[in-house]
Amino acid sequence: MTSTATAPGPSAPAPAPPDGPDRGGGRSGLLGLLDLPGQGVRAVVRSAATTPGRLTVIAVGLVLLALVAGLVATLSVQDRDDTISGVIDHREPLAAASQQVYRSLSDADATAASAFLSIGTEPAELRQRYERDIAEAGAALAKSASDSSDVAAASGPVDVLNQQLPVYTGLVETARANNRLGYPVGASYLREASELMRAKILPAAQDLYRVDTARLIDEQDSATGFPWLATILVLALLAALVVAQVYLTRRTNRLLNVGLVVATVAVVLSLLWGAVALIVQGSLVGSGQDDGSHRVDVLVRARIAALQARADETLTLVARGDGAAYERDFGANAVQMLGEDGQGGLLGEARGLITDGEGAAKVADATKAANDWIKAHAGVRGQDNAGQYQEAVDSAVLEDKQGGSAPAFRRLDDSLQAAIDVGRQDFLDDTHNGDRALTLLAPGLAVLAIVAAAGVTMGIRERLREYR
């Protein structure tokens, strides 16, 4: 048996690698998608190696920067405009409402004490005034508390007022009922009601006023803040346009590029318009804060001191010889309002802030009325200490008593209210004028940004045509 050997022949060629994204170590699927940004960057770099590619990159960058700067500037101005509108239409009225809460409640307490001092049936006008004060306090509280649910510092005082005010009015009604029947316990109920008012209700009302005033100041500060981001972007756009024009001048030997000049003019115009408008607006809103809300706050604090002192005056008489603590409080509030010499205190501060116009005249009237009241109060205390109790009550309660305490206090309160109204109007006038300074600025900046982007597009396109 024989065998044959076969000589080895040439080996079969290896199969060629398949065409596709995996060729040469390429990636496919998810890895390929992840590599797309890198591929895009490499494509841009390769394109930027040529002059047309560089011009395209410059154009895209300038257009994007123009649109982003325009958007940020427009939103910044619109946000500022909305803030000012909120200050005028919402925040300032709420601060005024919280001040009204304190004023009405304090006056109600003093009026209840005055009515209690009257012999026989209480005067109808005092009863009506007390009921009006309570109703006004309730309405002002509802308005002031309308947006306090998400602010812990405001919701706390609001809860106290809502819980304690019905308790106070119930104690006053019990005091009135006992007083009509001639029971001495009526005075105890009235003093308990007044202690509740002074220990819990009025401090809560004052806290609510402070919170609303602080929020008003915060929004005023926000409306006058400097728009750093928008300014930086606009200045960066202006610098980029200048650099691009210098680059084109060196590459093309043409002095000006019309499209880029148009874009630069649009940016400069938006910068100047925005700067002037924001400076005027900030100045007017700041003036509204200094000449309006700040002055009003000083006057409101003076009025609070006066109202507290008035309640002390009447409660001293209700206490019938046991009102030394009320009299000490009266003296402390009088010093806070007028100072030791009768020319300082909060009213002296107000005179330093308000030096002209109707407001100055009203503060001067308030200062004179306050000093007249202090003198009349000294007369009331002299009569009471001399055993002339009914004469002291008449001087403290009767509105038509010549040289009495009641008419002097009423002149003081009316003058302070008038001065506060003048300050509020000054605030509204200045802030409204500040808001008008921003008229059409937001849409104007948006239009100018679009003009700048269009100018860049047209200017670079003309240069690109030269390479086709």
Q: What is the pLDDT of residue 21?
A: 45
The two structure tokens encoding residue 331: 């003296």
Those residues with Cβ within 8 angstroms of residue 270's Cβ, 6 or more apart along the chain or in another chain: 70, 73, 234, 444, 445, 448, 449, 452
pTM of the shown model? 0.76
Average pLDDT over residues 197-208: 89
Q: Which range is most confident: 122-131, 231-240, 389-398, 401-410?
A: 231-240
As a whole number, the mean pLDDT across the chain is 83
CB count within 10 Å of CB 17 equals: 9
For every residue of 158-223, DSSP letters joined together read HHHHHHHHHHHHHHHHHHHHHHHTT-THHHHHHHHHHHHIIIIIHHHHHHHHHHHHHHHHHHHHHH
| Between 75 and 124, residue with greater pLDDT | 75
The two structure tokens encoding residue 43: 């494509």
Distance CA 302, CA 413 (A): 10
Those residues with Cβ within 8 angstroms of residue 36's Cβ, 6 or more apart along the chain or in another chain: none
Average pLDDT over residues 401-430: 89
Q: Is the pLDDT of residue 104 over 70?
A: yes
The answer to whether 88 and 162 have CB atoms below 8 angstroms apart is no
* Chain-centre distance for alpha carbon 163: 28
Instruction: Report residue 449's pLDDT band, with 50, 70 and 90 as the boundaries.
Output: very high
Average pLDDT over residues 345-351: 90
Q: What angle do CA 387, 316, 309 make, to 5 degrees?
A: 130
Instruction: Report residue 184's pLDDT band, with 50, 70 and 90 as the boundaries.
Output: confident
Distance CA 92, CA 318 (A): 38
180-218 CB burial, b ≥16 within 10 A, e <16:
eeeeeebbebbbbbbebbbebbbebbbbbbbbbbebbbe
Report phi then psi at 435, rounded to 5. Answer: -65, -40
pLDDT in tens, 303-327: 889 988 988 888 888 888 777 888 8
| Between 12 and 158, residue with greater pLDDT | 158
The answer to whether 273 and 418 have CB atoms below 8 angstroms apart is no
Distance CA 146, CA 357 (A): 34
- Identify which of 458, 67, 52 has the alpha carbon closest to the alpha carbon of residue 259: 458
Domain residue ranges of the chain, discontinuous segments joined by +: 62-465
pLDDT in tens, 206-223: 888 888 888 888 888 888
* Chain-centre distance for alpha carbon 429: 16
Q: Is the pLDDT of residue 41 over 90?
A: no
Q: What is the pLDDT of residue 149?
A: 65
| Residue 152: HSE in the Cβ half-sphere, 13 Å Cα cutoff | 0
Q: Is the pLDDT of residue 35 over 80?
A: no
> Which residue's structure tokens are 């000093």?
371
pLDDT in tens, 47-83: 555 777 788 888 888 999 999 999 999 999 999 999 8
pLDDT in tens, 252-301: 767 778 889 999 999 999 999 999 999 999 888 888 777 777 888 899 88
